[in-house]
Amino acid sequence: MLKKYSYPNKHKDILIFKEIETKTGVIKEYIHPINTIIKAYVRQLSGNEQNSLEGVQDNAVIEFVINSRTIEVDMFIEFKNVVYGIDGTDSLEFFNTEIHLRGYPVNPKTYSETRWS
């Protein structure tokens, strides 16, 4: 019987938000309630993984593994005061128990309002 691989504990704190364009400015809306965080397993991509992506090996791309939830590629992740754009999502073996996200650093913006869902 094959042993199922298990990721290390999700012990890193991240926040996920989306941007909403309005006439008065851009609104930052978190996908979780105020004063809450999302626990994630976080790691930098290996050199082989970066080569397969044909990316520059600068350790900028990070993989986040979180429990299943609705995530879209136009959302952003905050981790250790750095904002990451979501490059893509991948459900682990289609079981919908975990989602793998690859993020790349982006320049932070100024928002007219911050909301929590």
CB 103 within 8 A of CB 61: yes
pLDDT tens, N- to C-terminus, the chain (117 residues): 555 555 667 889 999 999 999 999 999 999 999 999 999 999 987 665 555 555 554 557 899 999 888 899 899 999 999 999 998 787 655 566 888 899 999 998 999 999 998
Beta strand segments in 5-54, E = 12-22, 25-30, 38-44
Tokens of 35: 């004063």
Q: Domain extents for the chain?
A: 12-116
CATH number of this structure's domain 12-116: 2.40.10.270
Model confidence, pTM: 0.82
